Amino acid sequence: MGQKIRQTGCDQRTIEAFLQGADIVLDSIREPLLVLDPALKVVIANRSFYLTFGVNPKETEGALIYDLGNRQWNIPRLKELLEDILPGNTLFHDFEVEHDFATIGRKIMHLNARRIYTEPDQTQLILLAIEDVTDRVSYRRNLEGLVKKKTAELTVALEEAEEKNRIAETSLSEIKKLKQQLEAERAYLQEEIKLEYNHEHIIGQSDGLKYVLYKIEQIADSDTTVLVLGETGTGKELVARAIHNLSRRKNRTMLKVNCAALPTNLIESELFGHEKGAFTGAHARHTGRFEVANGTTLFLDEIGELPLELQPKLLRVLQDGEFERLGSSHSTKVDARIIAATNRNLEEEVRNGNFREDLWYRLNVFPITMPPLRDRLDDIPLLVEFYVKKISRRMGKTIETIPSKIMETLQAYPWPGNVRELENVLERAVINSSGTKLRLVDELKRPFRGLSSSEKTLAAVERDHIVRVLEQTQWKVGGKNSAAEILGLDRSTLRARMRKLNISPPKTIK
């Protein structure tokens, strides 16, 4: 080490302090690195530098950088970088150098030079980082050359086609027709690109999904009310967000209200607000979501769960753009674009008296139905690739291979929970994959939806069924649209069965 320091001509005490342990640190870095003294002599280099450029360590340390490898490093662009940093600059990024080395051939390098200090206001050293981008740049150039070649071939082919047209004495009207056809194809391809890539996480290329994306673009720029229909887990909220992000209101945040998640006694206040003293506990005036959404989009999720007594108030907002806060007789005007979503059959709800017919007609101006995943089998490979990458990145894993047998299994399953269920299955698969190959832990071989395995007792099957219905009704035991009504039991009978089967709601429900 002392010999290295004497060769550089630098202050020995300060350089020794810097170099102590530097060998280990520099050798742990894969990128070739050089430390130069103010006279541009090599103080130290890492192992990657020697391996990449085939330079002998004994001939490197203490030598002027331009003299390395029998003056192979006497590179004008390197001099330009180092002379630029010496007067006062501290850093120069991505200085590209292309050079022919006698021993290792042509190299394309990105150079970064930074001034470093062994101690404040004392010896200044220069850290030179060298990134070998030969393969990357060569690949890019080859790709550009291939594109140029293909373009030339297409140009020649087009010229030959035109010559054949002239030989065949094709009429001007036929040429015009062909040109129009090409323009139409170009426009179609542009639309295809937009349909596949411009709608956030709406992923797929199936005909059903393309039709949904077409309808999104068709309606987004207007203020028309949109009703998004579809089963649970199909991505209805993504449709609402795509409509908002393509609308004139995209510069404001879209507001969302889940009508099924709020208690009946709070949903009116949440939507329309209340005045101070409007009810017990109303200690201050509260601004509702409709008022906050003035000038932007309001997404009403699970609109089919809206209590019947609140539906006239929502109808008035849709028709007249005004409402009254709880405890107020003053009407408030609002300009909010409404997008509603439901997994219920609202026409059937109207027939059953659970939903107002006039509100149904007012919402059903422009319906968009999100197809279930079982009708989008072509989209499953794209969805699997997207979610595996997303989940793996979040968990710090690398999944490179998805076996074809797993993909076939995923495409054969009916997906009652749609995309949400697919994401959950893939998350469990990534968690249980120890290597780079995806390992599926769910069997996904249930022949009938909701049918329990043969090993379960009758009590276990009954318990699973009751829990499933309770979860579906947000753990509402009695009353309209409750679990007791769906199961055809009295409320007291259902509670007795719940006690016997040890069924209790989650703590968040209690």
Tokens found for residue 397: 């894993």
CA-closest candidate to residue 189, choices 181, 201, 177, 200: 181
pLDDT of residue 117: 67
Kindly report the CATH number that applies to the domain delimited by 207-369: 3.40.50.300
Contacts of 395 (CB under 8 A, 6+ apart): 430, 431
* DSSP state at residue 463: H
**CA dist., res. 57 & res. 27, Å (int):** 13
pLDDT of residue 5: 43
With tokens 């101690």, the residue in question is 119
Centroid of chain to Cα 164: 49
pLDDT of residue 487: 77
Are 318 and 363 spatial neighbours (Cβ–Cβ below 8 Å)?
yes
The DSSP annotation for 316-349 comes to: HHHHHSEEE-BT---EEE---EEEEEESS-HHHH
Convert 362-381 into a string of H (helix), E (strand) and C (coil): HHCCEEEECCCHHHCHHHHH
CA-closest candidate to residue 397, choices 437, 344, 369: 437
Per-residue buried b or exposed e for 279-312, using 16+ beta carbons within 10 Å of the residue's own CB = eeeeeeebebbbbebeebbbbbbbbbbbeeeebe
One-letter amino acid at 391 equals: I
**CA dist., res. 46 & res. 22, Å (int):** 9
Beta-bridge mates of residue 91 = 114
Beta-bridge mates of residue 256 = 299
Are 426 and 381 spatial neighbours (Cβ–Cβ below 8 Å)?
no
Kindly report the CATH number that applies to the domain delimited by 2-132: 3.30.450.20
Tokens found for residue 172: 């001007």
pLDDT along the chain (510 residues), means of 10: 44 55 70 85 86 81 83 81 62 70 82 72 75 81 82 83 74 69 52 48 85 91 93 91 92 87 80 76 78 90 89 90 82 90 90 90 92 91 92 89 91 89 91 88 63 58 84 84 79 82 73
pLDDT of residue 125: 82
Beta strand pairing call for 33-36 and 124-132: antiparallel
**CA dist., res. 61 & res. 218, Å (int):** 68
Beta-bridge mates of residue 298 = 255, 338
Convert 277-306 into a string of H (helix), E (strand) and C (coil): CCCCCCCCCECCHHHHCCCCEEEEECHHHC
* Diameter over CA atoms, the chain: 96
Name the architecture of domain 373-431: Orthogonal Bundle (1.10)
**CA dist., res. 407 & res. 426, Å (int):** 11
pLDDT of residue 127: 84
Are 382 and 205 spatial neighbours (Cβ–Cβ below 8 Å)?
yes
pLDDT of residue 300: 93
One-letter amino acid at 470 equals: L
* Rg, the chain, Cα only: 35
pLDDT of residue 143: 82
